[in-house]
Amino acid sequence: MENQLQICGPACLLRPVRVPSKLLLGPGPSNVSERVLRSMTSPMLGHLHPEFLKIMDDVKEGLKYLFQTEAQNVFCISGTGHAGMDSVMMNILEERDVILIAKNGIWGDRAADMAQRQGAVVRIIEKKPGEAFTPEEIEESLQKFRPKAFFIVHVESSTGVLQPLQEIGSICRKRVISDRRQPPRTFYFDYSHLANYWGCDNVARREGLAQLVEEGLKESWSRHKECADLLHRGIESLSLKLFVENLVWRAPTVTTIVVPQGINWKEASEHLMNKYKVEISGGLGPTAGKVWRIGLLGENCTKGNVEFVLRLLSDYLSNKDFYKSKL
């Protein structure tokens, strides 16, 4: 009796899994290159093997290039973007520390939630979704609230706003962060441990960075800008409106398109997925139900993909009364 298992092996795991191939043109995740996928089938290495440590060193060099930084403390978090954000809050904030959050979309709310969980005092400055902050507004608020930490989003993917950061970066660099009083309330994400040792999927990350170095950072930026411009012009030529009105604030990586009256955003997204296996997303947070979001990130950022998604949208809309009335 003791050898009898109470839970049987689930039958679903005895059937083969079939993973369909999809073109992921949402704001993320997006497709990765064949080369990166292949590298994920590399043999396992031990986490202290010299080959693995060398890959970590290569990744570090690649990240310094990607972020154009000379900082020595460059390391990776094994986790999603949320894990990265959470780890920042856990490592920087302590009880009653003040954090200033610049909110113009859902990621400001998310940061406030994370900071509150660390016991921090959260102060918020706000802009309408679709707008960015000016350096003057940030400087004034930093003087007013004197926070220990400041949070702002570079690409607010819920609205498609690109926040200019250069001047804001200089303002922040003039301020000094004080040391922690206590160790952070996390073991796995403690930056002092991670700075010593980090990562577990570095072969694929190394391949992605190697591709970036081969293409060149500036060339990669130009490719993203050219494809975004092509997409923006194409969207407007379909009589659709871009959500971010100010040209300067339009993110090249995530484009937000106003869903016209009489069109159901979800039906359109489902149509593209069911018929063509192409993903475009709906809005998020303040833009929920109001926009579509098209992501052109990394491997997916090609003129071919832009033309393809424009053709699918045009085909879909051409059967709708809204669109016929515009012709």
Q: Are 322 and 296 in contact (CB under 8 A)?
A: no
* From candidates 69, 80, 239, 264, binder to ligand PLP by CB under 6 A: 80
Under the criterion CB under 6 A, does residue 102 sit at the interface with ligand PLP?
Answer: no
Binding status of residue 164 toward ligand PLP by CB under 6 A: no
Of positions 30, 87, 104, 157, contacts ligand PLP by CB under 6 A: 157
What's the CA gap between 283 and 15, in Å, rounded?
Answer: 35
Pick 158 or 202: Cβ nearer ligand PLP: 158
With respect to ligand PLP, which residue has the nearer C-beta, 81 or 183? 81
CB contact at 8 A, 89 and 113 = no
Query: Taking CB under 6 A as the rule, does residue 81 contact ligand PLP?
Result: yes
Interface residues for ligand PLP in 6-35 (CB under 6 A)? 27-28
Which of 311, 310, 163 lies closest to 228, judged by CA?
Answer: 310
Q: Which is nearer to ligand PLP, 26 or 184 (CB)?
A: 26
Interface with ligand PLP by CB under 6 A: which range of 41-49, 59-67, 74-82, 176-184? 74-82
Which residue is at the shortest CB distance from ligand PLP? 81
181 assigned binding-site residue: no
Instruction: Give me the least distance between CB of 292 and ligand PLP, in Å please.
Output: 15
Tell me how far, at minimum, the Cβ of 237 lies from ligand PLP, in Å: 27
Binding-site residue numbers for substrate are: 293
Q: Give the footprint of ligand PLP on this chain (CB under 6 A).
A: 27-28, 80-82, 85, 107, 153, 155, 157
